[in-house]
Amino acid sequence: MSFAKKIEIIGVPSDLGANMRGANMGPAALRIADLKEKVEIQGYEVIDSGDLHVPVRDSLDPKIQDEKFLQPLVKICDELATRTYQSVKENRFPLVIGGDHSIAIGSISGVANHFRDHDQSIGVIWVDAHADINTPDSSPSGNIHGMPLATLLGNGHPELTRIGGEGAKINPKNVALIGIRTIDDHEKMQLKESGIHYYTMRDIDEKGMFHIMQEAIKHVSEGTSGIHVSFDIDGIDPRYAPGVSTPVSGGITFREAHLILEMAYESGKMSSLDFVELNPYTDVGAQSANLTVDLILSALGKSIV
């Protein structure tokens, strides 16, 4: 698949999947950091399609809040799946900006659905401090932003697993999870049994990010026609990206983050991208927002020379 020269920005200002407020301000922070203008400088045509409607959590019925906002998140992810499906269908590159990581259920489901229409499949590179592979039965908190990868593998709330079509949207053998360093005990077992390829921070320390990415791209490309990159900003060490909802020390460095995205672009197979969990409320100045924009530019081909 050739890299689409028309980029479509889709904002999803939702923090409903998390118990920490603030990620709903992420799309606005990236626009204020001149995301559209900087992508255009790289020679792309950019369409900013605005934000999906997300209800204010305090306006919702207490019962909905007690259910961890399942129903509004189903609606948001359904709409996002429709939007990313249409974007790829029209030969655009959907750049989804969030928002907490629960929105990846929608972004990836839509893209996967489009490829499935052509008897094809996608691989996924998932960058995160957390495995996001909890289910409603295993999650200590019940927060849906800890469940999106499990949901996309077909395990989770039935109303979420059916988004974009029934069943799993991605094959575990075509998933690479990079940067994990804090995992629930029950989640460790699920991770080992899942069949996905995962790389802890110790793996990165031992092998180096270049070799990790070589392996990851090989795994996610095997038998697939496109690659979706889902990048959680908390995968980066909070020294570089303090503006997240769930910071975990000992993470990916500034340069390692850029290398991930440079190599993903150079694979020639990246079909879609989402950046999530930017929380301007916890940021230092606009440090994390500016870094995120720079990382997006690397994902779209910006190079040092």
Check 232, 256, 262, 283 and give the catalytic one.
232
Tokens, residue 253: 């460095």
Nearest to 134 by CA among 113, 155, 103, 162: 155
User: Is the bond preceding residue 99 a cis peptide, omega within 30 degrees?
Assistant: yes
Check 51, 78, 100, 145 and give the catalytic one.
145
Check 128, 237, 256, 262 and give the catalytic one.
128
Check 101, 157, 197, 228 and give the catalytic one.
101
**132 is a catalytic site residue:** yes
**234 is a catalytic site residue:** yes
Task: Please give the Cα distance from 175 to 258 (Å, whole number).
Answer: 20
Task: Please give the Cα distance from 160 to 31 (Å, whole number).
Answer: 29
Check 51, 187, 234, 283 and give the catalytic one.
234
Check 79, 100, 132, 283 and give the catalytic one.
132
**130 is a catalytic site residue:** yes
Cα–Cα distances (Å) from 196 to 29, 132, 172, 207, 225, in that order, read 33, 12, 5, 18, 18
Taking phi over 0 as left and psi of -120 to 50 as alpha, with beta for the rest, 200 belongs to beta
Check 51, 78, 114, 130 and give the catalytic one.
130
**232 is a catalytic site residue:** yes
Check 8, 100, 184, 277 and give the catalytic one.
277
280 touches 243 (CB < 8 A): yes
Catalytic residues: 101, 128, 130, 132, 145, 232, 234, 277
